[in-house]
């Protein structure tokens, strides 16, 4: 049957699954990407509980959805659901992006690490090679970013966590990727690190891990993977110690989204206008 040339094609469907998900900025970000790259797509939020994750996600793909972002608490479940993992998602054993290809393959990727390294390197102009890096936390957020960070030829990577054995377990898992050590917060010592990334969820409860002051100096770049209005407990602490930079995770959020968009649409959108718009709206 001939299709009239002026008949609008239905938009391709994408979205984010999480629980909760209502606070997500992803529809705003992907909406801007779609407009800027002239792509006909819709991006929606799907609140899915852990019990229903598998059933509901498969239903979404059966219903025509072509790609999903996956956020808390489903990233590990998503790694188990897909048929195939990209090397970086296999390394993380966590998935934040699923692409549905026409040959019925569900491909799981993890763009969180690329999001963090892009924000540090491209946006903040931080050179990571030969630097000493400290990561605070040993949960899912760290798992997602460790592989790409360890590819950067850092001189030293330390993972410090409130529960030290979890940091040591991650170190054992990633030991083949480079020089990496794990400890509790109280074992941390100066000299100041070049870069400190906060990947704990302490800030969500308004808390700040108890850290020795000597690990921050006037050249230290402090990066909080969480974001929101104003200072976080971690950026406030960093500023009080006169760190060179005290950044929040807005750039990582936009950069990981751009990497997901690239997987789905084959185009990496310009992230700068979106970051600027977020700073105006958030
Ligand atoms: P995510 O997926 O966000 O990483 P997670 O897997 O639950 O979430 O991990 C949360 C991380 O924040 C953990 O490293 C946790 O430390 P523990 O392993 O000791 O639980 C850390 N965390 C949470 N609240 C904290 C607090 N008040 N102080 C310090 N660390 C905290």
Which residue's alpha carbon is at the smallest distance from atom 12 of ligand 1? 200
- Give residue 179's pLDDT: 86
- Which atom belonging to ligand 1 lies closest to the Cα atom of 205? 27
From the list 154, 179, 159, the residue with the least C-alpha distance to 169 is 159
- Which atom belonging to ligand 1 lies closest to the Cα atom of 185? 29
- Give residue 3's pLDDT: 46
- Which atom belonging to ligand 1 lies closest to the Cα atom of 143? 4
Ligand 1 pocket check: which of 77, 79, 139, 209 to mutate, most ligand atoms within 8 Å of Cβ? 139
Ligand 1 mean position, distance from CA 278 (Å):
26
In 3-state terms, what secondary structure has residue 172? Answer: helix
Q: What angle do CA 147, 171, 218 make, to 5 degrees?
A: 75
Ligand 1 mean position, distance from CA 209 (Å):
10
State the catalytic residue, choosing from 75, 125, 166, 239: 75
Is 59 considered catalytic here? no
- Which atom belonging to ligand 1 lies closest to the Cα atom of 137? 14
- Give residue 264's pLDDT: 98
Taking the chain (282 residues) in runs of 10, the rounded mean pLDDT of each run is 59 97 96 98 98 98 96 96 97 96 90 98 97 96 94 95 97 90 95 98 91 96 94 96 97 98 98 95 74
Which residue's alpha carbon is at the smallest distance from atom 5 of ligand 1? 139
Ligand 1 mean position, distance from CA 37 (Å):
37
Which residue's alpha carbon is at the smallest distance from atom 25 of ligand 1? 202
Long-range contacts of 20-28 (CB under 8 A, 24+ apart): 20/47, 21/45, 21/46, 21/47, 21/48, 21/71, 22/47, 24/71, 25/253, 25/278, 25/282, 26/69, 26/71, 26/257, 28/277, 28/278, 28/281
Place of tokens 């609008």: 8
Ligand 1 residue neighbourhood (C-beta within 6 Å): 137-141, 161-163, 166, 200-202, 205, 207, 209
Which residue's alpha carbon is at the smallest distance from atom 7 of ligand 1? 139
- Classify strands 132-136 and 156-160 as parallel, antiparallel or unpaired: parallel
Verdict on whether the full-model pTM lies above 0.75: yes
Task: Give the DSSP H/E element, type plus range, for residue 174.
Answer: helix 164-174
Ligand 1 mean position, distance from CA 62 (Å):
35
Which residue's alpha carbon is at the smallest distance from atom 24 of ligand 1? 202
Tokens of 70: 């996956």
- Give residue 7's pLDDT: 58
């Amino acid at each position: 049957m001939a299709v009239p040339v002026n008949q609008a094609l239905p938009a391709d469907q994408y979205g984010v699954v999480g629980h909760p998900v209502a606070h997500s900025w992803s529809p705003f970000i992907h909406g801007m990407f779609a407009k800027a790259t002239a792509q006909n797509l819709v991006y929606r939020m799907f609140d899915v509980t852990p019990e229903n994750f598998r059933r509901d996600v498969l239903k979404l793909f059966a219903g025509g959805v072509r790609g999903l972002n996956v956020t808390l608490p489903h990233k590990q479940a998503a790694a188990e659901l897909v048929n195939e993992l990209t090397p970086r998602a296999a390394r993380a054993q966590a998935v934040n992006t699923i692409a549905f290809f026409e040959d019925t393959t569900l491909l799981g990727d993890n763009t969180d690490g690329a999001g963090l390294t892009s924000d540090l390197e491209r946006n903040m102009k931080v050179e990571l090679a030969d630097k000493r890096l400290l990561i605070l936390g040993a949960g899912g957020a760290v798992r997602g970013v460790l592989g790409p960070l360890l590819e950067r030829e850092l001189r030293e990577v330390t993972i410090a966590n409130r529960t030290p054995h979890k940091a040591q377990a991650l170190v054992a898992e990633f030991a083949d990727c480079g020089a990496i050590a794990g400890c509790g917060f109280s074992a941390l010592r100066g000299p100041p690190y070049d870069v400190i990334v906060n990947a704990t969820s302490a800030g969500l409860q308004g808390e700040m891990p108890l850290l020795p002051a000597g690990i921050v100096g006037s050249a230290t770049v402090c990066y909080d993977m969480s974001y929101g209005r104003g200072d976080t407990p971690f950026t406030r602490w960093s500023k009080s110690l006169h760190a060179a930079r005290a950044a929040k995770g807005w750039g990582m959020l936009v950069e990981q989204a751009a990497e997901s968009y690239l997987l789905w649409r084959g185009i990496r959108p310009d992230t700068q206008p979106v970051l600027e718009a977020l700073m105006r709206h958030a």
